[in-house]
Amino acid sequence: MCQLHKISLFLRSQILKGRTGTSEDGGWAITYTGFILILLCFFIMLTSFASFEEGKIVRFVRSFTNALCILPGGLKFESGKDILDDSSDIVDKNSEIAGFSEDLTALANKLGLKRDIQVSVFQKGLVVRFSDTVMFDLGAAEISPEAIPLLEKIGSFISGKPYPIRIEGHTDNLPIHNERFPSNWELSTARAVNVLRYFIEEEKVSQQRLSAVGFGEFQPIFPNDSPGHRAKNRRVEIIIGEREHVKLPEEMGK
């Protein structure tokens, strides 16, 4: 700001000189000074645009297109909620959370588990959703060896970070009743607690940052009206950071 003030004073002095000079040299000085002022404003604007975060630019474009009812390229109109949820701020793709999300998704693809894990990134953290088939055997709460590499990846990330970690267990609405699990409440809670214990015992994650809860069948993401929908409702979710009320991509069509 100090430099701009000095430039302003200098240009003002040039204008005054132009006004008090002869008719032969006063005109060009005023024209030249105006040209310099325009250039100065132009470069100030360029500097301000260069300092914008990419996420802010995306939010501006989204707000502008929504205001004018313009559909972004590649998207089509669908009934129901907006295609772009009006949830949280756009996440910087260069952020630590976004980078971890990409690494975890790449590992799932490498292990052939692309369909069994979903990662949703938001401003203050992310949600990792596991299908029950990759995490547990049918009606059991012991962690499957197939899921260990993914849990190791998550554990290595969260062990050195300050994020709070919440593990949620969910089932479908088919009843279960045996000596170990009298209902879906016990099954969903046992699964969440076993994942929590894995992070504590194997990955040495601070216990103060961990919590586990079982929801049974009472927070489905799809209606329990078909085998496919029930399979999607049987899941374990690991919430890293503060969860926001956003839907994962597959829920958008509900």
* pLDDT tier at 244, thresholds 50, 70, 90: low
C-alpha of 185 from chain center? 30
Assess whether pLDDT exceeds 90 at residue 23: no
26 vs 212 pLDDT, higher one = 212
Q: What is the pLDDT of residue 140?
A: 93
- Give the mean pLDDT of 243-249: 48
143-159 pLDDT, tens digit each? 999 999 999 999 999 99
Per-residue pLDDT averaged across 194-205, rounded?
A: 96
Which residues share a beta bridge with 118? 129
Tens-place pLDDT, residues 116-139: 999 988 777 899 999 989 999 989
* pTM beyond 0.85: no
Shortest CA distance to 195 belongs to which of 175, 218, 214? 214
From 49-58, 202-211, 238-247, the region with the lowest mean pLDDT: 49-58
